[in-house]
Structure 1
Amino acid sequence: MLRNSANPFGLWITTLLALSLSLSAQGVNSADAYQLGAGDHILIQVFDEPDLSMSFRLSESGTVNYPLLGEVEVEGLTVRELEARITSGLLGDYLVNPDVTVAIEEYRPIYIDGEVRQPGGFPYQPGLTVQKVVALAGGFTERALRDRIALQPAKDPASEQSVGLDYTIRPGDVITVKRSFF
């Protein structure tokens, strides 16, 4: 006779692993479209030029002070566009054939508060939905109104809109899960 010996902890770990793999797969497909912004942590490497390889956290000004080039506007660029901008800046006067690679070491955070078990900030990943952020925050509390989720977009923090669980989050967004009084 078989018994159902499902371990709740094992199920929880399996769910988190599946979520992690899902986020990683989606990140690979949409990373080229991601636009850099304040709070992102990037690594710029130039092959065979260790003095030009360094890490930056993007400030509110949207620029980085890069050796030989000075202030470089980064806000709103994709990784590929930034690679091209640095390559063209180094080409000729400084290097013959610069091989520049830019990687995002850490995305700027998104935030969730209200009726979730672990409110706070989480690093953005391309493809995140409200439902995935709620899972990262430990799930809903017993008092959560699952159909009353508010979003303050990073682009317009003074506004608030109602969103569903399948809504795709953008970097810097703030999610608030409303409370049920009954």
Structure 2
Amino acid sequence: MIIRLFSRLILGLLLLNSGIVQAEGNSQYKLASGDVIRISVFGEKDLSFEKLRLTDAGTFSYPFIGEVQAKGKTAAEIEQIIVNKLKGDYLVDPRVSVSVLQYREFFISGEVKTPGGYPFQPGLTLRRAVALAGGLTERASDKRITIIRDHDASRTPEPATLDTLVLPGDTITIDQGFF
């Protein structure tokens, strides 16, 4: 029994360190402008790219295919698009892998010491985002925080707490407290 639990723990740590668990957690992540992706085509160096930044329109250019619309799609959907376009005319059985190397920035403004854009990290909470921005100013209110989600077309500010999860492209505003 103890050996079985120990082996599960070791397996879990190996999977976590290999990035497999992280990849599963990001499988529903929707790409947008500013994301940096890697495209690997097995056995085809000329069709593999280490760092492709999506344009303002959420697209990237790819050999033989042209402009690929990536905005709103997952990495798996981009893989399938590339496979479908390369299969037959260019390659017999292309094996394609697409992964996100760098997520688009989130933005924080208001009563923080260093407002601006910061690189997103998976699992980021508002508390950690504030720390990245140098912490709260003396006038900041930890109760008057709003967040505008990047995926919200109406751009409606939502109330947030320091434990709220931050997503790529989000805009956070920390207001002054009233004394």
Aligned length in residues: 160
2:167 to 142, 166, 170: 170
Structure 2: distance between partners of 1:27 and 1:178: 34
Q: Which residue does 2:177 correspond to in 1?
A: 180
Q: Which residue does 1:134 correspond to in 2?
A: 130
Structure 2: distance between partners of 1:43 and 1:157: 31
Alignment of 1:11-160 (within 5 A): 27-54=22-49, 55-154=51-150, 155-156=152-153, 158-160=155-157
Equivalent position SS for 1:33: coil
Computed over aligned residues only, the root mean square deviation of the Cα atoms, in angstroms, reads 2.3
CA contact (8 A) 1:27 1:127 kept: no
Q: Which residue does 2:13 correspond to in 1?
A: none
* Structure 1 residue runs of 4 or more that deviate by more than 6 Å after TM superposition: none
| TM-score between both structures, scaled by the size of structure 1 | 0.78
Structure 2: distance between partners of 1:31 and 1:37: 14
User: Cα offset for 1:28?
Assistant: 4.5
User: Cα offset for 1:62?
Assistant: 2.2
User: Cα offset for 1:48?
Assistant: 1.9
Name the aligned partner's letter for residue 162 of structure 1.
P
Relative distance call for 1:135 and 1:28 in structure 2 (3 A) is farther
User: Structure 1 unaligned runs (5+)?
Assistant: 1-23
Name the aligned partner's letter for residue 178 of structure 1.
D
Greater shift in the superposed pair: 76-85 or 25-34: 25-34
Could you list the per-position Cα deviations for residues 35-82 of structure 1 after superposition, in whole angstroms to 9, with x for gaps in the alignment? Answer: 111111112121221211123211122222211111222111111221
User: Cα offset for 1:112?
Assistant: 0.7
User: Cα offset for 1:27?
Assistant: 4.6
Report the identity percentage: 45
Relative distance call for 1:181 and 1:171 in structure 2 (3 A) is same
Name the aligned partner's letter for residue 50 of structure 1.
K
CA contact (8 A) 1:113 1:119 kept: yes
